[in-house]
Structure 1
């Protein structure tokens, strides 16, 4: 019989995996379907969300998380920009502008069906962009005021 200090719980294999998406119609449709199911994206006009997603799929500036049954359960997308442009964006002082090889990231899309997928995506994004400052605006679907932040990946 095991002692009280031994952990006899079975080890559980993590059912989620990160997998890149290609610039395909199937990937595009899967991301838009996921976005359409969650606020605030569910309230966006299709042209707003679709242009952003299309550009992120073409550039590879995204992270996707899939469940064991191959369902897309998380998507995080970004653009490269300058710190000055990102600061203006989070302060509502200007449109977000893409700056190829910019020294900052604007994380423009994050949607997930589970906190575990969100954690996986944010951790992977930080690993990919060490030394970059990431900017994001978090919008809630329940009427709470948006929060604006920047974080430095170390």
Structure 2
């Protein structure tokens, strides 16, 4: 998948050391993830790259946005939203959901493009996500959507 316009390109990154380094560098500079211990998300990003469950916004050969998810079940996704489960990627026929676990952008114009792309790549699956700003999860807002296909 590649989506290009004047604000940059949205692509699925290949599972390479270069991609990994670019994403980790972007996360380290991110307002959202810059204060995190990056070792807490390093393995998650590595898995998302390996599985092709990511999209990146690229401008002038730099990452300006990243969305990464893993495949799971609706049951586990619901429990994760309630703080009762830890997500682990699934690779079998039980997959009916995805959890958007990492999302960051330094360009607000990239946000809807990354979200649309992630939804397009997860058609037919319920997608779970936690809304957080500056490291604080904000409950009470819509945090799941069923991707039925078609236009957004």
TM-score, normalised with respect to structure 2: 0.84
Report the number of matched residues: 140
Structure 1 equivalent of residue 106 of structure 2: 113
CA shift, 1:98, in A, is: 1.9
Structure 1 equivalent of residue 130 of structure 2: 137
Q: CA RMSD in A?
A: 1.7
Deviations 1:93-143 (A, max 9, x none): 1211222241100000101011211111101111122221100111110x7
Unaligned regions of 5+ residues in structure 2, if any? none
Give the Cα separation in 1 of the matches to 2:136 and 2:38: 23
Give the Cα separation in 1 of the matches to 2:47 and 2:103: 15
SS of residue matched to 1:17: strand
SS of residue matched to 2:129: strand
Do the aligned residues in 1 keep the contact of 2:130 with 2:137 (CA within 8 Å)?
A: no
Note the 1:21-100 alignment, pairs <5 A: 21-67=13-59, 69-100=60-91
Larger Rg: 1
Unaligned regions of 5+ residues in structure 1, if any? 1-12
Q: Does 1:152 align with 2:146?
A: yes
Runs of 4+ displaced beyond 6 Å: none
CA shift, 1:15, in A, is: 2.9
TM-score, normalised with respect to structure 1: 0.83
